[in-house]
Amino acid sequence: MKGIVAFDSVYGNTKKVAEAIAEEIKAQGHEAVLLDLGLAMRTNVDGDFLLVGSPTRMKRMTSRTKKFLRKAKKNFAGKPMAAFDTIMAPPADPEKREAKKWTENGAGPKIRDLAEKKGMKVFPEVLRAEVIDIKGPLTLYALDDSRAFVQRFLESL
């Protein structure tokens, strides 16, 4: 089977998660195509399943991610899909914990909901890869968690 991993990335963290996802898809014996939405808005891609990711920016997915999902419905309606995002890990300082409100219902859940509205067969779990501070790096287990997420998603197909 062929999987498309479409992602947008601002500081490179979402790209690292997408690369780990693609590597795990290949390790599970499938073909994986990485599609960086920041480089090219190719909507004519087709595959057997789709994973879409974005950094969470002010509780939202990026506009490129939203545009891709709207156009991807023609090739992925009725096909399995999973969502992922990168979010800021909760700050250690209790006074700064309010910053978490910007990520609680962030890009990942919104990607999942929009994909469902567009007729895709959505995997209910969303991968939320945590980033230390705003620009990163990813937390210690983020890439391992990403690989485990892909395994659960592929098992559901």
AA identity, residue 121:
K
SS3 151: helix
pLDDT digits (tens, 9 = 90+) for 97-117: 665 665 678 999 999 999 999
Per-residue pLDDT of 44-96, as tens digits, reads 789 999 999 999 988 899 999 999 999 998 999 999 999 999 998 876 776 66
Q: How far apart are CA 56 and CA 65, in angstroms?
A: 11
- Res. 133 pLDDT band, cuts 50 70 90: confident
Give per-residue pLDDT as tens, 9-26: 999 999 999 999 999 999
- At 125, is the pLDDT very low, low, confident or very high (cuts 50, 70, 90)? very high
Length of the chain measured in residues: 157
- Taken in order of first residue, the domains within the chain and their CATH numbers are 2-155 (3.40.50.360)
The pLDDT value recorded for residue 101 is 62
pTM of the model: 0.93
pLDDT recorded at residue 134: 82
Residue 153: exposed, middle, or buried by beta-carbon count in 10 A (0-12, 13-18, 19+)? buried
Contact 55, 8 (CB under 8 A): yes
